[in-house]
Amino acid sequence: MKISKIGFGIIALCCLGFAGVSAQETDKAKYDAHVLFHPLFNFQPGNEYRSASGAPGPKYWQNRADYKINVALEEDKRVVTGDVEITYKNNSPENQDFIWLQLDQNAFNDQSRGGKTTPVTGGRFGNTGFSGGDSLKSVTIQQGKDKFVNADYIISDTRMQIRLTTPLKANGDMIKIKIAYSFKIPEYGSDRMGTLETKNGIVYEMAQWYPRVAVFDDIEGWNLLPYLGAGEFYLEYGDFEYNVTVPWDHIVAGSGELLNANEVLTAEQRKRLAEAAKSDRTIMIRSAEEVTNASTRPKQSGMQTWRFKISQARDIAWATSKAFVWDAAKINLPKGKTALAQSMYPAEDGGQDGWGRSTEYVKGSIEFYSSYVHEYTYPVATNVAGIVGGMEYPGIIFCSSKSRKDDLWDVTDHEFGHNWFPMIVGNNERKYAWMDEGFNTFINFLSTDNFNNGEFKNAQMNNLHRLAPMIFRPKADPIMTIPEVIQPANLGWEAYYKPAMGLRMLREQVLGKDRFDYAFHMYVQRWAFKHPTPYDFFRTMEDAAGEDLGWFWKGWFFENYRLDQSVKEVSYIEQNPQKGSLITIENLEQWAMPAKIDIEEVSGKKTRVEFPVEIWQRGGSWTFRAATQQPIRSVTIDPDNKLPDINSENNVWKPAKFAEPEIN
Ligand SMILES: [Zn+2]
């Protein structure tokens, strides 16, 4: 999901005002080492499901849901109608007397919890003035050798419970659930799906479009937070086969692989696609000039069914329009494999400043993450231009048709970065937005630096002294807050930037790149296509990097502890600069970080000294001996502005100048 620019703007404005206040507040010391380095922080024993090392335990289990779906778009009624067959496998060690599903379309209604909790001012995820929701025609289940029978079920807002007469047995029993349903397509479904009128036709972006099984796990049992808007998704992995029937003049993009190109594409389009699959340069599959030409479709009347499949995915989405321009290029994967990058967009949004470069961005983004994080696992990656500002689904993303230049790079890179978090590493987004948005924003920093020799490199997020008043603003929510409780203006910081900056600091200032990258990869390898919790992440990082980081998680992720390092004083040994100096640094706020200090002598000689965070276990003041040989011109702590130091004014020590007394 895209970073909310509105929230970011408000924060930027507010923070100008906070900077002065913060500097004054830091006058009194607030640091207590006992609090920051408390031995019982993160004190939970591991178990056989999740080990204390942060790895899945020897008895780790996860349930599975495979889907077969057939839907049709009834364009005149703006309705999607169809059926889904879910094969659900209970790998848990418990029998299930009931199964919970998600009907997220039910949020798009004034009467829903999401509707009723939408403020009068609306908001990005708000849904008012629309009476949508899933309408269920039939719900049947099939167990063992029995036939399909009508299910006993209830619906509670966006949740649906199927009550079983015969329990679904532990350790591998399966049930089939068949639901015939339809829903009215919202124009704007919480900025994650919807429709957009364009010059040559409507762009439909379809998500949360079929009933899905909720996750039953070893942490919470059934995960049943309702869909209100801000909190995203938590879903089981499985294989999907799905058929989408649309009017003949539409082009459909969907998660995964198109299975019937010979039925839905012209011979010329298939030829161009084959060329694109071998081309590093973007190849036009259906040009702007061809969009309104009926001969670019294999038939000129009625409806057409597009068939797709995707393996090991936690969700699927699709988009359709008769307005789509379509281009594609090859993605090179690390071990010599390839995939296809493609973009679908209205003709009016093409061009080199706009969507004409989208496929290049998709390719650049996926090639980077495939080598830094984990190889991309789907055959196709599609970027669709439409009403949604920026939203991710496995193998397909929706980005605003209005995005241009660096904005389009940023949103494309961000949404495809989500293919790793949460699509490969399947965290619970509805509860821990930072585990996907924050991790993703962190890898986006690296990817953006890397793309096209730094074409879109942005230093805005590099000077942490400048950003500290925003990071530590008084109304901030802790990162460890569920998305619905994070205030809308804070979401950009708490779910995206603050966790991303935390990981970057951990990589560059605490562990170093090698130890961080090894541990971060270990986390991805251990939890790819599984369901990690925050503790699984914390523990893996600590074990694989070899560091007790409780103080780091506590201060940055669980609390809003602030950081203020300062240089207090300098004295010379026996008052003789040639004998060296004693330098006292201080930690004035409740968080702590390792210290870097630059010492400059009058000759211009510069020395950098570094201390681990453990100096602050001795208290908030630390004196060290420096082998200087001349009077000192300056001592600077955190000279590169790499730490979010709330008060830069006390970071530099300079000798007091002799001031002539005033004579009256
Ligand atoms: Zn996102």
pLDDT score at 122: 82
pLDDT tens per residue across span 310-320: 999 999 999 99
- Paired residues of 446 in beta bridges: none
pLDDT band at 5 (very low <50, low <70, confident <90, very high): low
For residue 2, the CA-to-ligand 1 centroid distance in Å is 5
Mean pLDDT of 604-614: 98
Distance 498 CA to ligand 1 centre (A): 14
CA 551 / ligand 1 centre spacing (Å): 27
What is the Å distance from ligand 1's center to 403 Cα?
16
| 407 C-alpha to ligand 1 centroid (Å) | 14
Helix (H, G, I), strand (E, B) or coil at 77: coil
∠ CA 524-407-368, nearest 5°, is: 30
Cα of 1 from ligand 1 centre, angstroms: 3
Letter for the amino acid at 601?
A: E
The residues, any chain, with a CB within 8 Å of residue 146's CB and separated by 6 or more, are: none
User: How far does the centroid of ligand 1 lie from the alpha carbon of residue 499, in Å?
Assistant: 13
Query: How many angstroms separate the alpha carbon of residue 267 from the centre of ligand 1?
Result: 37
CA–CA gap between residue 200 and residue 322 (Å, rounded): 7
Comparing CA positions, the residue from 57, 93, 100, 252 lying closest to residue 169 is 93
Å from CA of 234 to ligand 1 middle? 14
Does residue 19 have a pLDDT over 80? Answer: no
Distance from residue 219's CA to the centre of ligand 1 (Å): 24
If you measure from the C-alpha of residue 391 to the centroid of ligand 1, how many angstroms do you get, rounded to a whole number?
7
Q: What is the pLDDT of residues 454-507, one digit of tens each?
A: 999 998 889 999 999 999 999 999 999 999 999 999 999 999 999 999 999 999
Q: How confident is the model at residue 20 (pLDDT cuts 50, 70, 90)?
A: very low
Residue ranges of the alpha helices (H) in 257-310? 261-264, 267-276
- For residue 310, report the distance from its CA to the centre of ligand 1, in Å: 22
CA distances from 35 to 474, 558, 565, 589, 616 (A): 20, 13, 17, 12, 12
Q: What are phi and psi of 249, to 5 degrees?
A: -90, 5
DSSP state of 105: G
In whole angstroms, what is the distance from residue 164 CA to residue 171 CA? Answer: 17
Type of residue numbered 629 = Q
Amino acid letter, residue 139:
V
Question: How large a percentage of the chain has pLDDT more than 70?
Answer: 96
C-alpha 415 – ligand 1 centre gap (Å): 6
Instruction: Output the six-digit token pair for 268.
Output: 């010329």
Judge contact between 537 and 24, C-beta under 8 A: no
385-424: pLDDT as tens digits: 999 999 999 999 999 999 999 999 999 999 999 999 999 9
Report the C-alpha gap between 558 and 591 in whole angstroms.
11
Model confidence band, residue 18 (pLDDT cutoffs 50, 70, 90): very low
How many residues does this entry show for the chain?
Answer: 664
Can you state the angle between helices 405-417 and 437-450, rounded to 10 degrees? 130
pLDDT-derived band at 94, boundaries 50, 70, 90: very high
CA of 252 relative to ligand 1 center, distance in Å: 24
Closest CA to 482 of 225, 235, 107, 236: 225
Distance in Å, CA 357 to ligand 1 centroid:
21
Quick one: tokens of 332?
Answer: 């090179």
Query: Ligand 1 mean position to 255 CA, how many Å?
Result: 18
CA of 124 to the centre of ligand 1 (A): 14
First to last CA, the chain: 67
Contact, 385 vs 344, CB < 8 A?
yes
pLDDT band at 588 (very low <50, low <70, confident <90, very high): very high
Q: Give me the residue label for tokens 């040559």.
A: 200
- Which structure tokens are listed for 238? 């499985």
What is the mean predicted confidence (pLDDT) over 58-67? 98
Residue 553 confidence (pLDDT) above 90:
yes
Omega into 655 within 30° of 0, i.e. cis? no
Q: Ligand 1 centre and the CA of 266: distance in Å? A: 35
**Spacing, Cα 619 to ligand 1 middle (Å):** 39
In angstroms, what is the span from residue 417 Cα to ligand 1's centroid? 8
User: CA 214, CA 158: separation in Å to the nearest integer?
Assistant: 11
What is the distance in A from the centroid of ligand 1 to the CA of 144? 41
Would you put residue 546 in left (φ > 0), alpha (ψ -120 to 50) or beta? Answer: left
How remote is the CA of residue 3 from the centroid of ligand 1, in Å? 6
121 Cα to the center of ligand 1, angstroms: 23
Give 16's pLDDT tier (boundaries 50, 70, 90): very low
- Give 121's contacts (C-beta < 8 A, 6+ positions apart): none
How is residue 116 written in tokens? 């009723």
Report how far ligand 1's centroid is from the alpha carbon of 497 (Å).
Answer: 11
Question: Quick one: tokens of 536?
Answer: 């699984």
Q: Which residues pair with 101 in a beta bridge?
A: 160, 213
Q: Which two tokens stand for residue 390?
A: 């920026």
> How far, in Å, is the centroid of ligand 1 from the Cα of 422?
9
Q: How far is the CA of 600 from the centre of ligand 1 (A)?
A: 44
pLDDT band at 428 (very low <50, low <70, confident <90, very high): very high
Cα angle 416, 419, 422; round to 5: 130
What integer best gives the mean pLDDT of the chain?
A: 94
**Residue 17 neighbours by CB distance under 10 Å:** 10
62 C-alpha vs ligand 1 centroid, how far in Å?
25
Which residues fall within 8 angstroms of residue 460, CB to CB, at 6 or more apart? none
Please name the residue ranges forming H helices in 506-625.
Answer: 513-527, 534-545, 550-553
Residue 29's pLDDT is: 59
Do 277 and 283 form a contact (C-beta atoms < 8 A)? no
Please give the distance, rounded to the nearest whole angstrom, from the Cα atom of residue 413 to the centre of ligand 1: 10
Residues in contact with 175: Cβ distance below 8 Å, sequence separation at least 6, in sequence order: 87, 88, 90, 99, 141, 142, 143, 164, 168
Ligand 1 center to 302 CA (angstroms): 38
- 380 CA from centroid of ligand 1 (Å): 20
3-state SS class at 293:
coil
CA distance 516 to 446: 14
Q: What is the mean pLDDT of residues 119-138?
A: 88
The residues near 530 (Cβ < 8 Å, ≥ 6 apart) are 56, 60, 62, 425, 426
**Contact by Cβ (8 Å): 505, 527:** no
Six-digit token pair at 383? 């970027």
CA 19 → CA 138, 182, 647, distances in Å? 59, 52, 9
Q: In what order do the strands lie in the sheet with 134-143?
A: 149-150, 134-143, 173-184, 79-90, 64-74, 238-247, 303-313, 257-258
C-alpha 392 to ligand 1 mean position (Å): 7
Angle at which helices 358-372 and 405-417 cross, to 10°:
40
Phi-psi region of 638 (alpha: psi -120 to 50; beta: other; left: phi over 0): left
Q: What is the mean pLDDT of residues 69-80?
A: 97
Give the pairing of strands 380-386 and 338-346: parallel
Tens of pLDDT, residue by residue over 149-205, are: 999 999 999 999 999 999 999 999 999 999 999 999 999 999 999 999 999 999 999
Regarding predicted confidence, which is higher, 139 or 459? 139
User: How far is the CA of 210 from the CAs of 179, 182, 396, 398, 510, in angstroms?
Assistant: 9, 9, 16, 18, 44
Residue 21: the pLDDT is 42
Q: In angstroms, what is the span from residue 245 Cα to ligand 1's centroid?
A: 29
How many angstroms is it from 122 CA to the middle of ligand 1? 21
Q: What is the mean pLDDT of residues 114-121?
A: 90
CA-CA distance, 324 to 343, in Å (whole number)? 9
Neighbour tally for 76: CB within 10 Å: 7
pLDDT classification of 126: cutoffs 50, 70, 90: confident
> What confidence score (pLDDT) does residue 422 get?
98
pLDDT surpasses 90 at 15: no
Say how many C-beta atoms besides its own lie within 10 A of residue 194's C-beta: 22
Query: Mean pLDDT throughout 624-644?
Result: 97
